[in-house]
Amino acid sequence: MSYLLAFVGFSALVMLHELGHFWAAKRVGMRVERFSLFFPPHIWKTTKGETEYCIGLIPLGGYVRIMGMNPNEEIPPELADRSYSRMAVNKRIFVIAAGPLMNVLVAFVILFGLFLIVGLSSPSSTIDRTEPGSPAAGSLQRGDKLVSVDGKSGDVATLGAAISKHHCAGKPVDGCAATTPVSVVIKRDGQTETLLLTPRYDAAAKKTRLGFNFAIDHKAVGPFDAASRSVSEMWRVSEATMSALSKLVYDPQARKQISGVVGSYEVTRQSFEFDLAQALTVLAIISLSLALINLFPFLPLDGGHIFWALAEKLRGRPIAYSVMERASAVGFVLVLVLFAVGLSNDISRLQGGGFGLR
């Protein structure tokens, strides 16, 4: 089921992005010839009015084909005034920007809804569940309150760090047992108990764990607070995304953090297995990141079209299509490099320790 939910989530992000372009183009009177979810070959087509609606076989995106996107396209004289290339610059920018702006709106709506419905979420020191076959299974129970670990009390980060200080002998391998047990003090049914549990190394999390999850506490917030926190979270994600992308050229560690379509899909899928709210948060972050990347001023990205439209506005006359074609080569190379880096990292994570979702 998680595979299907992740696929539906990704498809919705693509469809809504293209729907932004589609709506804006129709709004300003452009002739939309095709609206396609995914790329060809097409497995389903239907025509309504002047627009052909399609579903492609390759689920890596989608597109809206507007008449006149290619200035060299032959356009019937009676339709010339509805061509993209003949429209005013501000209308073209509006149509192109509508896709990324739709992704921004989707991210806001998801985060706003989560803050409003779920509230502020923070982990408590109460055990929610244990993982089958883990050191915690059979010893810790749902509802147990974790008081201290090796004599140390504090927030969940402090307690988790105390557990991970216990290491395997030699180089850790997935599932190896630590050389020393953890002294865990819990409160159960009003009584305090001390347990000795031996953590195991989790290659996905890259640390030793006992194999349990903390329960999440929720605090209700009002609509204005939810809106404010949504904007703040989107700003934080935007800053982190731009910072990571700016480091790609000179920081090898930053390049290792990039994920492609495969990695984003897998993280979303795992999130649906773990928690619906977390999965929706991941989709919101992906939607916002897609908007930011799409606004980079390189063709074939949306930002490239906006850049050349603004250049035309400043110049006072259209830019030669041959110039844009040559410049687009840079954008294609950057997109391919980013895709290759992300795919390479995704393959390494799938073959290795996974994506560290815990």
Closest CA to 64 of 27, 103, 37, 89: 37
Asked if 319 and 312 touch (Cβ cutoff 8 Å), the reply is yes
H-run or E-run covering 120: strand 120-130
Residue 33 one-letter amino acid: E
Q: Are 301 and 293 in contact (CB under 8 A)?
A: yes
74 is catalytic: no
Q: What is the pLDDT of residue 355?
A: 43
Helix-helix angle 302-315:321-351, to 10 degrees: 160
Categorise residue 76: left if φ over 0, alpha if ψ from -120 to 50, beta otherwise: beta
Q: What is the CA radius of gyration of the chain?
A: 25
CA distances to 84, 101, 135, 270, 309 from 174, in Å: 56, 43, 14, 19, 54
3-state secondary structure of 117: helix
pLDDT for 253-291, tens place per residue?
A: 656 666 655 556 566 777 777 678 888 888 998 899 889
Check if the beta carbon of residue 32 is closer than 8 Å to that of residue 26.
yes
At 353 the pLDDT is 47
Q: Name the CATH architecture for the domain at 121-219.
A: Roll (2.30)
Ranges under pLDDT 70 in the chain: 248-267, 274, 339-358
Q: The whole model's pTM is what?
A: 0.77
The rounded distance, in Å, linking the Cα atoms of 32 and 187 is 64
> Do the beta carbons of residue 86 and residue 80 sit within 8 Å?
yes
Place of tokens 């129709």: 26
Question: Which stretches of the chain are DSSP H helices?
Answer: 2-28, 89-117, 156-164, 223-246, 252-257, 261-274, 276-294, 302-315, 321-351
Please give the angle made by the CA atoms of 283, 288 and 292, to the nearest 5 degrees: 145
Q: What letters, b where the CB count within 10 A reaches 16 and e where it falls short, cover 103-140?
A: bbebbbebbbebbbebeeeebebbbeebeeebbbeebb
* Nearest residue to 145 (alpha-carbon basis) of 163, 159, 165, 132: 159
pLDDT at residue 258 in the model: 65
- How far apart CA 185 and CA 139 sit, in angstroms, is 12
* Residue 183 exposure: Cα atoms within 13 Å on the Cβ side: 7
pLDDT of residue 44: 95
Indicate the helix (H) or strand (E) that contains 78. Answer: none
Residue 209 CA from chain centroid, whole number: 27
Going from N- to C-terminal start, the domains of the chain cover: 2-117+260-351, 121-219
Q: Which residues on adjacent β-strands are paired with residue 200?
A: 177, 209
Give the active site residue among 18, 33, 50, 73: 18
